[in-house]
Amino acid sequence: MNFLLRVFIIFLLSYIFGFDSYWWLIVIYPITVGFIFFDNVISHFISGFLGVFLAWLTLIFQLDVATHSIISQKIANILFVNNNIILIIISSLMGGILGGIGSVLGQLIRKIFLKNLNQDPYID
């Protein structure tokens, strides 16, 4: 439950509250979630990754369908990817990695401040 909840929170926040000017600021969502929930770092990497990956995938796909893939196809060709679906997946993977690193960082910071791991109130 912890894992799925984390993915869902990160997904929702990244989906709704993006930042135009500094796109990478959404990394605060996986960092915060990584800080609040206790788990091992690998699990956190995956939840952070999935949360942002899915949010970006959904966002880009929605916009792409609404705009008949005109721009994604052209940009895909410019970047030598040649297929707009692959471009969208690459874009989302890029966001996913950002989320993954963010969540790991959140968890590591948590471990600095909480000396006794067993005192974690959120532990399963």
Partner 1 sequence: MQKIIPLKAIKSIIVFFILIIYIHLLNISVFNLPPIGKLLNPYSGFIQNGLVNKFHDIELPGIKEEVILQIDSLLIPHIYAKNDEDLYYVQGYMHAFHRLWQMEFQIMSTSGRLSEIFGERALSRDRTSRRKGLLYAAKNTLEISKKDQKTLNFIEAYTKGINDFISSNDIKDLPIEYKLLNYKPEKWTILKSFLLMEQMSDMLSRTNQDIEDTYLLELLGKKEYDFLFPEIHQEVDPIIPRNTSFEFAPEKLTRKRDTIYPKILIDETFKKPDPYNGSNNFAISGKRTKNGYPILGSQPDLSLNLPSIWYGIHLNSPTVNTMGVSLPGAPGVIIGFNDSIAWGETNATRDVVDFYKIKFRDNNRKEYFFDGKWLKTEKIIEKFIVKNSKPFYDTIVMTHHGPVSYDRNFLGDNDKVDLAMRWIAHDASIEYKTFFMLNRAKNIYDIKEALSYFDGPAQNFAYATTSGDIGITIAGKFPIKWKEQGKFLLDGSKRDHEWSGYIPFDHALSMINPERNYVSSANQHPSDKSYPYYTYSHNYEYYRGRRLNDRLETILNATVEDVKNIQNDNFNYIAYEILPILLEKIDTSNFNINKKLTLDKLKKWDYFSNPQSIEASIFETWHHFLRGKIWDEFDTIKFKYRRPTKYNTFYLIKNYPELKYYDIASTEKTEKLTDIINLSFDLTEDSIEIWKKSNSNDISWKNYKNTTVRHILGIENFSVSNINIGGNRNILNAASKYHGPSWRMIVELDPDGTKAWGVYPGGQSGNPGNINYSSMIKDWSLGKYNKLLFNNFSEKIEDQMLYTKKFKK
Please report, as ranges, the residues that interact with partner 1 according to CB under 8 A.
18-21, 23-24, 26-27, 55-56, 59-60, 63-64, 66-75, 77-79, 87, 90-91, 94-95, 97-98, 101-102, 104-105, 108-109, 111-112, 115
* Helix-helix angle 84-113:70-78, to 10 degrees: 80
Q: Are 28 and 106 in contact (CB under 8 A)?
A: no
Nearest distance, CB of residue 46 and partner 1, angstroms: 15
Q: What type of residue is 35? A: F
Query: Which residue's CB is nearer to partner 1, number 1 or number 115?
Result: 115
Nearest distance, CB of residue 1 and partner 1, angstroms: 26
Nearest distance, CB of residue 88 and partner 1, angstroms: 8
Query: Which residue's CB is nearer to partner 1, number 4 or number 108?
Result: 108
Query: Which residue's CB is nearer to partner 1, number 21 or number 40?
Result: 21
The alpha helices in the chain, defined as continuous H runs, are: 2-16, 28-36, 41-66, 70-78, 84-113
Nearest distance, CB of residue 55 and partner 1, angstroms: 8
Q: How far is CA 34 from CA 22, 51, 60, in A?
A: 21, 12, 25
Query: Which residue's CB is nearer to partner 1, number 9 or number 27?
Result: 27
Judged on CB neighbours under 10 Å (0-12, 13-18, 19+), 1 is exposed
